[in-house]
Amino acid sequence: MKVISWNLLRRTGAAVKDLTALVERERPDLLLLQEAMEPVKSLPDLIGGQVHHDLLPGRVHGLAVWTPHIVLPPDVLFLPVSRMPGRLPPRIAQIVRIDGVAFSNVHLSHGQLLNRRQLYRIARAVEGPMAIVGDYNAVGPTVLPGFHDVGPRRVTHVASNVIPFRLDRCLARELDCFEARVLARGPSDHCPIMLDLRAALDAAQPLAGGLRATAMDEAPRRTIRSLRHSLMGRTPLPARRFARIRSGRTST
């Protein structure tokens, strides 16, 4: 499943023509957009597929999902808000399901404690394989039990053209990521990120005869690697373990 996420920079950033060019070039299965405005609704007329657009409360922009596949409209999840004076604007998450996997499109709050609370709210709302993708507005690591940070480890936004941040991220549960990269920024102030995500059950590489690799298949490989390192003068390999290798028996 090829997923692309892009914060468009609402009025002055990426336009529909930039989105059509991106789709024609990258051919994603799912395009997740933040700061998207009304014109994104014209995408099906230009490139087919379907689009679902949900405004943030009280804003002229919001979240949008485009896909060439037939899917049900995404669920809209209202996220925790700040109770402090001058609180940050409310946020939502779109949750769309494709082939048994839930994808959450997010544009989280700038408050660093608040955006972590919002992530926890999304994670608790859905069971099973899931990816939370979008503009996290997070500084530093984002840790979520059961999830792994599989997004590209590169800067995606430079604040005031001075301070670099990795704001656009992906946390995944029960999914493996085969590729993650940052795409050209274009007219927005954020770079798009692209991910190739697959359900963990299907992610193992086929072996000879069409079988799939498992932890049992990996054990002899680890032993052989240790033997190779020993022969190259690295960590010595115990004699007892070397005897098991020669006899065809390995254990870890």
In a domain, 168, yes or no: yes
62: domain CATH number?
Answer: 3.60.10.10
Are 228 and 197 in a shared domain? no
Are 185 and 236 in a shared domain? no
Are 99 and 145 in a shared domain? yes
Are 149 and 82 in a shared domain? yes
| Cα 148 from Cα 173, distance rounded (Å) | 7
In a domain, 198, yes or no: yes
Are 156 and 226 in a shared domain? no
What is the β-pairing status of strands 168-173 and 175-182?
unpaired
In a domain, 162, yes or no: yes
In a domain, 73, yes or no: yes
Are 173 and 241 in a shared domain? no
Look at residue 87 in the predicted model and tell me its pLDDT. 65
Are 227 and 176 in a shared domain? no
Can you list the residues of the chain whose pLDDT is less than 70?
A: 85-87, 201-252
Look-up: residue for tokens 């957009």? 33
Are 82 and 123 in a shared domain? yes
Are 70 and 39 in a shared domain? yes
In a domain, 18, yes or no: yes
Are 212 and 236 in a shared domain? yes
Using a 10 angstrom Cβ sphere, with 0-12 exposed, 13-18 middle and 19 or more buried, the burial of residue 208 is: exposed
| Cα 141 from Cα 195, distance rounded (Å) | 19
133-179 pLDDT, tens digit each:
999 999 999 999 999 999 999 999 998 888 999 999 999 999 999 99
In a domain, 75, yes or no: yes
Q: pTM higher than 0.85, yes or no?
A: no
**Number of independent structural domains in the chain:** 2
Are 68 and 173 in a shared domain? yes
Are 185 and 237 in a shared domain? no
Provide the residue range defining the domain that includes 47.
2-202
| Cα 79 from Cα 197, distance rounded (Å) | 25
In a domain, 252, yes or no: no
